[in-house]
Structures are given as structure tokens and as C-alpha cells.
Chain A
Amino acid sequence: MAEPILTVEGLVKHFPIKRGVLQRTVGHVRAVDGIDFSVAKGETLGLVGESGCGKSTTGRLVLRLIEPTRGRVTYDGREVFKLSGGEMRRLRRELQIVFQDPYASLNPTMTVGAMLREPLELHGIASGKAADERIRELLGLVGLAPYHALRYPHEFSGGQRQRLGIARALAVEPKVIIGDEPVSALDVSIRAQVINLMQDLQKRLGLSYVLIAHDLAVVKHIADRVAVMYLGKIVELAPTRTLFRRPRHPYTRALLNAIPAPDPRLKRPRALLQGDVPSPIDPPPGCRFHTRCAFAVERCKVEEPPLIADETGHATACHLWPQIADKVGVGVGEHRLPENPRLERLKAAFRPA
């Protein structure tokens, strides 16, 4: 792997829960509970997991939009959490974010032109005529026209707004962009358009992405490596191909198992997850997944498995993965139903001639 541009070490965020008149702290939501990862220049790291597993919190921590409880984020040799207010504002030129909801992430009272001009002037990138020129360029970069600069956000469609969000992030010429579910609020038909745009921009501008998502198909398509999060921890981190072909952690396997296969005759034994995610206020001891894991043994309930990487860069946090690799899971025990002539005729009707 190339030299990392962004490194996250032992990142922890506990949100205090305050109760009563005196606002005493009665507990903590352990949103992010000690995670490590790094992103290389030009790389895309996918960050996946269920709702509430701490993905978005991680993204905001990396950008220091919220302050961490513990841990270290290093960008290009600089420790992000040690920077002063002014230094931090300058660093924001290099790290940007694209939000999930394109309807909430654009200021409704600012025209697109004003919105794009602000970061340019703020960081002294361009002003006056040069800024006009740059705004035109940025709009062109995301497939919009110069006259769009005069319009207000509500005059755009969801997909266009998301592209505006990307244009705003690009205005400061960042090196790393955190995508907080950048396509999950978009129609399926628009998703590909935005993803292709992001990939295209990555190639042209040499960007690094941290792509937070719960849609595994998107991650499979765009990410170089994938980190799977569960209850504030990374349980598995591997190159995308490896992770999708040979997932090791029972949680990853269950996630992949939940993706529907585009073949109605394919039957596979499903090891679907039972129950709900435990509360992050009081996470289970030992391995956090043991309450829902089909393979859990006594050891899993007491001893927390560390995230250990092998020589291929495939890291897993599970005591048992070598033993359970051949047990029921993805790609194991699949079988096809016998041909059904009626179904075949039906399918043929939908195939392009």
C-alpha cells in the first residue's frame, strides 16, 4: 500500500448522557470505541455497517466537526486534534465532506454562486473575476451550467443538489473527501450518475475518499478497501475483492448474505442476523457481536478479539474465523433449483433481443 495520507489511531467518541436538573452524567453512548484505519493517496476506503454503528460519527471526528474523547487523526503528518482554531480552519481546505441529504446540506438562502464563492474567498483561492471563472469551472466539473450559479438550491433536483454539494466540497481543492452516505438519499437511477462523477473526479484530481455507506453494492463498485463496523468497532478490514469473495467475520458474512441474488432459482442457506443491535450505551462484554453470532463460544463472551491483519492486509477481529470458515455462510452450500420451464419463458421475455 502507498504512503497513507490520513491515519486514524485509537479513535474514541463517547457521548455523555445527562439526566435530571443538575445534568449529571449517567452514562455514555459509545458511538465510536477505538478504531484504527488509514487511507492512501488516491484510495477509496469504504466504511460500512448498520445504522447507529458509528460510521457517520467517525466521519465527523476525522474532520473534527465534533471533538473526540480520545485518539489521534494524522493528516499529512499533522495531528488534526492538536491544531489551533486558525490552523484547523486552514486545514479544512484539504479535508472536505459530502453529506447524505442533499435537501438539508445546501443553505436555502444562498444562491449557488454565493455558496461556491464563499470558500474561494475564505481561503484566498480566488476573488472577483477569477472567482467567477472558478465557479464556472466547478459547475462544469459536476455537469452543471454557468447560469445555474444564479439559482437557489430549491430550484434543483436531488441529484443536481448532490452534485452541487460535491462542487462545494471541491471548491477548496481538497485532497481527502469524506462521503457520508453521499448517494443513499438519491433515486437508484441518479446514484450511478453521482458515483461515476465521484470516480471520474478521483482519477482527474487524485482525491482520496472515505466513503461511508450501508449500501454494499455501492461500496463494492467504488471502494479499494472496505472496513466493516459494528457497534463502534471495526470488525473486518480488507481489500474489496477479498472481502466480498472470502469474508471472514461472521458479521460481514451475514451482511453479505443479506444481499439478494439476482437469480430466482438460487437457493442458499441463509445465516441471517437475529435480533437487534445491542445498545451502544451498554455494549456486550467480550466480542460485541457474540449476542447475535451463530458461532459464539464461551470465550467470545469474555475476551474481546483484537483486529489482527494477515500479510495480505486482511484484518479480522474474531477468535474463531479460521475454524468457522467452511461453516454455513456465503458461497457455501448454495444450490440451484431445477429448471422451471415457465420461469425460463418469463425470463426470456425480459431479455433484450
Chain B
Amino acid sequence: MVATTVAATDDTLIKRPNAFRRLMRRKGAIVGLVVIILFVLIALLAPLLAPYDPTKTNFLLVRKPPSAAHWLGTDEIGRDLLSRMIYGARASLQAGVISVMIAIAFGVPLGLMSGYAKGWVDSLMMRIVDALLACPFLILAIAMAAFLGPSLTNAMIAIGLTQTPIFIRLVRGQVLAVTVEDYVEAARALGNPHLRIAVRHVLPNIVAPVLVQATLAIATATLAEAALSFLGLGQQPPEPSWGSMLNVARQFISQAPWMAWWPGLAIATIVLAFNLLGDGLRDALDPKES
């Protein structure tokens, strides 16, 4: 507000603080963003950061607690947990973010089309979505991953496609609510083509719930990757992912609890970080927040 009042004396149409600047005023969002950037850096720089080869076994070091040599301890076949955590960040971040990007890439345009076009397009789409949502999320993801074949990429595609109907339904509902607003009718009265109305007048007004859903979906996707890895449909052993590490640790929870601590902590932290960022983004993108 202060910036715009100052601009008032200057007779040019300068820009007001943009969404990014507004985001940077929120502590929670900054914390979330910093954590995410940190995890991304760890994932990218894994070969430089990891002290050991994450897949190298050592039967003299089975299930050792944290020590000076192995900061986070070792797992059931003597692999260094720190190295596995660092490399595991790659799989988990990819599984979380890329699968949700796939879901958004399909879900948002389809939902927008369904809600905007209405009629038979909408009816058909909603029946398909109903059918997909009738299956439990994990079952569907497992079925799809099994169909595509076991690999991390296929697991991400399976998770993404399984989450798509949730986004279609969400976006479609929001679009229905927004298209009855007078400003959409005004946009039509001004002679905007349909595509432009959908993209410029409807879409920006439904971003907030999509973002919030996306942060939740990243959390779900990270956990879904863990489940798929557990079934051998995600990250293929011996390559690490937090989910598969957690699932293995489950069997040794009383003998070697540290095996479960680190992946559990990492998943919780990254999910929290995405939620904080999502919250901040929602507020920053809402023009009513100055």
C-alpha cells in the first residue's frame, strides 16, 4: 500500500509489489521455501555430499547406531544411512513433485474444460472421474504402476494419473462457482473469446484451492511412492528412497530405531515445508492480502 501511495505522485503506471515479493513477507513461507531449496540442493549435489556409496554393503557394519564414521548409522546390510538419505532425497522429491505436476498438467485443463463447457462434455468427464475416484487411491496407483512396469518413472506417472481426477473434480467445482460471477459475464460482454475468458478471468480466481490441494497431494505422493517401493513397484533396490527405507526400517524398529527416524523425519519435514509454502502462496496470490 505504501508503495502505491508513493507512486501516486508519479504519473506512470508502475507495477505494485508482485506475488513473489508478497510471499517473501511471510515467515512460514520463507521457512518452507528454504527447507525445500535445501532438500533440492541436497538431491542435486548428492554425489558430492554423500560420504559413502549408498548401495555398498558391509556385513561388519550391520545395524550400527550413529557414530563418527556413520553419522546416521547403518542399515540392515551395513549401508551408510546418511548417504542413502542424501540419494533418497532424489527419488522422494521427484516422486512428490513430478507426480503432482503430472496431476496438475492434466487435471487443471480438463477440469477447466469440464466446468466451462458444461453440457455433455461435463457429464462424460464427471462419470469418468466418479469411476476413478470410486477406487481407493493406493489400489489404483498400484494397479497402474503394475500395468506400466516397475520403475521410479512409472511409479511417478501412476501416482500422477491417480491424483488427476481429484484435481479435475476440484477445478471443475471451482470453475462452476466462478463462471456465474458477473465479472465473467462482463468479460463476455466485452467480446473476449471463450479461451481467453477461461484462462484470464476464470483460472486466476481458482488458483488458491488448487495450490493448497497440490501441497497436500505432494505429501500423499511422497507416501504413495513409499508404498509402491515397498511393493517393489517404485524405486528399485538397491537404489534408495525415503519411502522404501522407512518400510525396511519397520522390521527393525526395536533393534535399530534410527533406521526409521531419518526417513520419517525427512518425509515429515518436506511435507511440512510444502504445506507452509502452499499456505504462504495462497495468501500471496490473494490480492485482498496487501
Contacts and interface: CB of A to CB of B under 8 A. Distances in A.
Given A109-B204, A122-B192, A65 B185 contact: yes
Given A65-B189, A92-B191, A108-B288, A150 B183 contact: no
Contact of A111 (B12, B16, B193): B16
Contact of A122 (B183, B190, B287): B190
Interface in A133-157: 135-136, 145-147, 149-152, 154
Contacts of B185: 60, 65, 97, 99
Contacts of A92: 189-191
A122 B191 contact: yes
Listed residue (A91, A105, A109) with the most chain B CB atoms within 10 angstroms of its CB? A109
Interface residues of A, number: 43
A123 B14 CA distance: 24
Nearest to B190: A119
Contacts of A109: 204-205, 287
A107 interface: yes
A108 B202 CA distance: 11
A90 interface: yes
A250 interface: no
A150 B13 contact: yes
Interface string A109-121: 1110100001100
B13 A123 contact: no
A298 B14 CA distance: 70
Nearest to B187: A107
Interface in B5-58: 7-8, 11-16
A89 B194 CA distance: 11
Contact of A146 (B13, B15, B187, B287): B13
B16 to A, nearest CB: 5
Given A99-B182, A135-B13, A118 B189 contact: no
A224 interface: no
Interface in A161-190: 165, 168, 171-172
Interface in A57-106: 60, 63, 65, 88-93, 95-97, 99-101, 104-106
- B: contact size bracket: 20 to 34
B149 to A, nearest CB: 41
A61 to B, nearest CB: 12
A150 B201 CA distance: 18
A132 interface: yes
Given A146-B13, A150-B14, A65 B188 contact: yes
Nearest to A178: B189
A152 B189 contact: no
B8 A145 contact: yes
A170 to B, nearest CB: 11
Contacts of A135: 13
Contacts of A154: 287-288
Nearest to A180: B182
Contacts of B16: 111, 150-151
A107 B287 CA distance: 11
Listed residue (A91, A93, A168) with the most chain B CB atoms within 10 angstroms of its CB? A168
Nearest to B1: A155
B186 interface: yes
Contacts of A146: 11, 13
B190 A168 contact: yes
A158 B160 CA distance: 44
A99 to B, nearest CB: 5
Contacts of B205: 107-109
A113 B193 CA distance: 20
Interface string B157-169: 0000000000000
A93 B8 contact: no
Contacts of A110: 200-201, 204
A150 B182 contact: no
Nearest to B287: A152
A105 to B, nearest CB: 4
Contacts of A89: 191-193
A97 B188 CA distance: 10
A104 B201 CA distance: 13
Nearest to A165: B186
B119 to A, nearest CB: 11
B240 to A, nearest CB: 43
B186 A99 contact: yes
A118 B192 contact: yes
B125 to A, nearest CB: 17
B183 A107 contact: yes
Contacts of A93: 191
Contacts of A118: 187, 190, 192, 200
A168 B192 CA distance: 13
A70 B9 CA distance: 54
Given A104-B182, A109-B204, A90 B191 contact: yes
B255 interface: no
B251 interface: no
Nearest to B205: A109
Given A168-B186, A168-B190, 15 more contacts: A88-B191, A91-B191, A96-B190, A99-B186, A104-B181, A106-B183, A108-B205, A110-B204, A119-B190, A132-B12, A135-B13, A150-B14, A151-B4, A152-B287, A172-B190
Interface of B: 4, 7-8, 11-16, 181-183, 185-193, 200-201, 204-205, 287-288
**Closest 7 pairs between A and B when the two form their complex, measured CB to CB:** A92-B191, A105-B182, A147-B8, A109-B204, A89-B191, A152-B287, A104-B182
